[in-house]
Amino acid sequence: MRQCTAAQRATRLFWGVVGSGVLVVSSVTLVWLFGSRSTPPMTILAACVTMMQQVWGFTSQPVTSPAFAGFILLGLVASAAWAGGRGLRAWWRTRRLLARSAPYSPGRWPTLDAALATLPYAQQRLRTLSTAPLVACTVGLWRPQIVLSTGLIAALSPPELGAVLGHEWGHVHHRDPLRRALLQFCSDLGWFVPIVRVLAQDSARVMEDAADDMAVALTRQPLDLAAALVKAAHGEEPPLVVDPFAGGGSIPLEALRVGCEAFASDLNPVACLILKVMLEDIPRHGPELAEDLRRVGAEIKRKAEKELADLYPKDPDGAMPIAYLWARTVRCEQPGCGAEIPLMRSFWLSKKANRKRALRYKVIKKGGAGVSPATVAPSLEFEIFEPKMDKEVPGGTVTRAKATCLCCNMVLSPDRVRAQLAAQRGGADVIFDERQSGTGFQPVRMGGARLLAVVTLKPGEQGRFYRLPTARDYEAVWKATKALEKKVAQASGLSESDTGETPVPHLSLDGAAAR
pLDDT value for 342? 93
Confidence category of residue 44, pLDDT binned at 50, 70, 90: very low
User: In whole angstroms, what is the distance from residue 513 CA to residue 477 CA?
Assistant: 14
Average pLDDT over all residues of the chain: 80
| Last residue in a domain, options 197, 232, 267 | 232
User: In whole angstroms, what is the distance from residue 112 CA to residue 165 CA?
Assistant: 10
Q: State mean pLDDT over 100-120.
A: 88
CA torsion 280-283-289-290 (nearest 10°) is 110
Q: Do 171 and 204 form a contact (C-beta atoms < 8 A)?
A: no
Whether residue 81 sits in one domain with residue 216:
yes
Whether residue 201 sits in one domain with residue 264:
no
| Last residue in a domain, options 214, 232, 250 | 232
Residue 298 lies in a domain: yes
User: In whole angstroms, what is the distance from residue 450 CA to residue 328 CA?
Assistant: 6
Whether residue 379 sits in one domain with residue 292:
no
Phi and psi at residue 482, to the nearest 5° = -65, -40
User: In whole angstroms, what is the distance from residue 305 CA to residue 253 CA?
Assistant: 33
Distances (CA, A) of 272 to 47, 275, 280: 71, 5, 11
Whether residue 393 sits in one domain with residue 273:
no
% pLDDT > 90, the chain: 22
Whether residue 445 sits in one domain with residue 388:
yes
Whether residue 486 sits in one domain with residue 338:
yes
Helices 6-34/44-55 angle, 10° precision: 140
Whether residue 437 sits in one domain with residue 388:
yes
pLDDT value for 66? 54
Number of domains in the chain: 3
Nearest-CA neighbor of 486 among 495, 474, 473, 476? 495
Q: What is the pLDDT of residues 184-241, one digit of tens each?
A: 888 887 777 777 778 888 888 888 989 999 998 888 888 888 888 888 888 778 899 9
**Least reliable range by pLDDT among 91-100, 371-380, 394-403, 434-443:** 434-443
Phi and psi at residue 208, to the nearest 5° = -65, -40
State which residues form the domain around 253: 240-304
Helices 250-257/222-234 angle, 10° precision: 80
Sign of the alpha-carbon dihedral angle for 326, 473, 447, 382: positive
- Which one has a higher pLDDT value, 39 or 248? 248
Q: What is the pLDDT of residues 459-500, one digit of tens each?
A: 888 889 999 998 888 888 888 888 888 888 888 775 545 544
3-state percent helix, strand, coil for the chain, nearest multiple of 5: 50, 15, 30
Whether residue 28 sits in one domain with residue 59:
yes
Q: Do 230 and 260 form a contact (C-beta atoms < 8 A)?
A: yes
Q: State mean pLDDT over 166-195.
A: 85
444 alpha-carbon distance from chain centroid: 47
Whether residue 370 sits in one domain with residue 428:
yes
Whether residue 326 sits in one domain with residue 200:
no
Whether residue 406 sits in one domain with residue 262:
no
Residue 511 lies in a domain: no
Residue 330 lies in a domain: yes
% pLDDT > 70, the chain: 80
Whether residue 61 sits in one domain with residue 210:
yes
Q: What is the pLDDT of residues 321-357, one digit of tens each?
A: 888 999 999 999 888 888 999 999 999 999 888 889 9
**Least reliable range by pLDDT among 266-275, 348-357, 440-449:** 440-449
| Last residue in a domain, options 263, 278, 304 | 304
pLDDT value for 299? 94
Nearest-CA neighbor of 322 among 453, 450, 455? 455
Tell me whether strands 261-264 and 145-149 are parallel, antiparallel or unpaired: unpaired
Sign of the alpha-carbon dihedral angle for 163, 167, 168, 170: positive
Q: Do 210 and 7 form a contact (C-beta atoms < 8 A)?
A: yes
Residue 71 lies in a domain: yes
Residue 364 lies in a domain: yes
pLDDT value for 221? 87
